[in-house]
Amino acid sequence: AQRVTQPEKLLSVFKGAPVELKCNYSYSGSPELFWYVQYSRQRLQLLLRHISRESIKGFTADLNKGETSFHLKKPFAQEEDSAMYYCALQPNAGKSTFGDGTTLTVKP
Amino acid sequence: DGGITQSPKYLFRKEGQNVTLSCEQNLNHDAMYWYRQDPGQGLRLIYYSQIVNDFQKGDIAEGYSVSREKKESFPLTVTSAQKNPTAFYLCASSITSGGLTGELFFGEGSRLTVL
């Protein structure tokens, strides 16, 4: 069975500090992993996906198959990064699994 | 203006009544999904459809039903059999290519409250 675990429900950092949102997954095949973000009063939207290996809004995420992790990182957090973040495993057409989400608060 | 439209945004229902949530997309996506979002529980998949006239149960399909008669529409019915229907419901769509699911595009959601 596929499973996504985000161990931190809440994460609070100060502006300018590094931030890491953890995501671990369980899946027997080759995973397709995504991070989605939901800002206040906005719809859920894609932040980044592992296959593109790009940096979006200063965030990066590296897939570590050995540790089955896909942690989201940003070296210097900004107040506008405050949002709910979801890690998602989308291994094949249709059956996507989301983690429970992490609420990030960046304090001034 | 392309995207996914869910209606209504807010809905109140009495116990024992069925209610249907609408989801329409003009992105020409093949796949559509319904998720339920509860506080502290993330998104849980109710039903999904990869092609017209076909759909599969997700992880929490009991008490729900769907249809996919048109590519752009995927309505969700919350039946009286759903024991805890008060929740926030999200519809999404995606391109599927080579067996892989692309980025999910989400609607703004529908909040259902059972009185």
Yes or no, beta carbons of B45 and A100 under 8 Å apart: no
**Of A24-33, A73-82, B28-37, B103-112, the least confident:** A24-33
The percent of residues above 70 in pLDDT, for chain A, comes to 97
Q: What confidence tier does B9 reach under pLDDT thresholds 50, 70, 90?
A: very high
pLDDT digits (tens, 9 = 90+) for A40-64: 989 999 999 887 777 889 999 988 9
Q: How far is A35 from chain B (nearest CA, A)?
A: 10
More confident residue, B1 or A31: A31
The nearest alpha carbon in chain B to A85 belongs to: B42
Distance from CA of B103 to the nearest CA of A (A): 7
| pLDDT confidence tier of residue B2, bands split at 50, 70 and 90 | low
Q: Which of chain A's residues have a Cβ under 8 Å away from the Cβ of B36?
A: none
What's the CA gap between A56 and A54, in Å, rounded? 6
**Closest residue in chain B to residue A30, using alpha carbons only:** B100
Query: Which of B43, B48, B93, B110 is the best substitution to test chain A (most A C-beta atoms within 10 A)?
Result: B43
Mean pLDDT in residue range B56-85 = 94
Instruction: Sort B75 into a burial class: Cβ within 10 Å, 0-12 / 13-18 / 19+.
Output: middle
The per-residue pLDDT for range A70-86, each reduced to its tens digit, is: 999 999 999 999 999 99
Nearest to A99 among B42, B92, B96 (CB): B42
If you average pLDDT over residues A3-20, what whole number do you get?
96
B106, B108, B110, B111: best mutation site toward chain A, by most A Cβ within 10 Å?
B106
Q: Are strands B64-66 and B105-106 parallel, antiparallel or unpaired?
A: unpaired
More confident residue, A15 or A27: A15
Number of C-alpha atoms within 13 angstroms, CB side, residue A57? 14
Strand partners, B65: B77
- Per-residue pLDDT band for A88 (boundaries 50, 70, 90) equals very high
B99 to A93: CB separation less than 8 angstroms, yes or no: yes
- Contact state of A9 with B40 under an 8 Å Cβ cutoff: yes
- Residue B83: the pLDDT is 87
SS3 state at A92: coil
| Between residues B48 and B41, the one the model is more confident about | B48
Share of chain B above pLDDT 90, in %: 70
- Tokens 């405050």 correspond to what residue? A82
Buried/exposed code over A36-75 (b: 16+ C-beta within 10 A; e: otherwise): bbbeeeebbebbbbeeeeeeeeebebebeeeeebbbbebe
pLDDT at B97: 63
Q: What is the DSSP pairing of strand B54-57 with strand B64-66?
A: unpaired
pLDDT at A33 over 60: yes
Q: What distance in Å separates the CA atoms of residue B55 and residue A79, rounded to the nearest whole number?
A: 41
The torsion region of residue A87 among left (phi > 0), alpha (psi -120 to 50) and beta comes to beta
Please state, for a pLDDT cut of 90, what percent of chain A lies above it: 70
**Given CB atoms, is B28 within the 8 Å cutoff of chain A?**
no
